Homo-oligomer: A and B are copies of this chain.
Amino acid sequence: MNSLSHISGIPLYIQIREKLRQDISHGLLLPGQKIPSEDQLAKQFGVSRMTIRQSLAGLLSEGLLHKQHGVGTYVSHVRIAANYTRMTSFTQDALAQGKNPSSELIDIKKSVVGEEIAKLLAIHKGDIVVCLKRLRKINEHPVAIQISQVPEKICPPELENYDWSRQSLFELLEAHGHRLNRAIETINARLADKEQAKLLGLHIGDPLLYIERITFGDNGMPVEFVEMYNRPDSYRCTITLTR
């Protein structure tokens, strides 16, 4: 039984990958269990072995499966969500978890960048950036302060006129032709100052998870620099490392 569709337009390797993912999440394939060999899967789905290998590659990189040369491919013991090192927006993230994201605009303005930020955004010192400061909420509880800086030259016009309580910057930039491709995050710990504590409902000196992110577009150029101050109790940053 394979049930692959050659006319759906969805690549076979993705259909197979998602079928395997379902089999795992539905318990048909249990943690620690060996899945059929690549040859067997190829016959079962009626595709070539290279296509099966492409299907497995995604699940392997997520850590959902692991291989042993000369032995077989196994379902990992701890289930790992698919998106741990995937770039997602705050809005997408929250919606995917069935939560209700919203934002409160604290400030939006244009400003001149200093040397440091200019370097990160690959622009020149003195260039103009749009600076967007938002309080992010999940189910109406404040969880993070985000300060985004985007070079003015790649910004959609009239940024001030959007409804930032609902508008995703991520989606806006994509709609404006900047397909986002990759990001680098640096994570650290900081103490809440007076303003941060007030906005996040904490006390001065409480710990915050501080994340800096540079997001790159399809052409490899930096698109935004974001600083995030996260409530440590409501934001979990989990990553998967591989050998």
Is B222 within 8 A of A182, CB to CB?
no
Is A76 within 8 A of B216, CB to CB?
yes
Is A175 positioned at the interface, with any CB of B under 8 Å from its CB? no
Is A218 positioned at the interface, with any CB of B under 8 Å from its CB? yes
Is A241 positioned at the interface, with any CB of B under 8 Å from its CB? yes
Copy total for this chain? 2
Question: Size range of the interface on A?
Answer: 35 or more
Is A238 within 8 A of B78, CB to CB?
no
Residue among B189, B206, B220, B236 making CB contact with A74, cutoff 8 Å: B220
Question: Which of these binds chain B: A13-21, A80-88, A134-142?
Answer: A80-88
Question: In the complex, A103 Cα to B218 Cα: how many Å?
Answer: 43
Is A172 positioned at the interface, with any CB of B under 8 Å from its CB? no
Contact with B along A186-212 (1 / 0, CB 8 A): 111111000000000000011111100
Is A150 positioned at the interface, with any CB of B under 8 Å from its CB? no
Residue of B nearest to A205 (CB): B205
Given A76-B216, A181-B66, A232 and B188 touching (CB < 8 A)?
yes
What residues make up the interface of A, taking CB atoms closer than 8 Å to B? 31-32, 50, 61, 63, 66, 68, 74-78, 80, 84-87, 122, 180-191, 205-210, 214, 216, 218-222, 232, 236-243
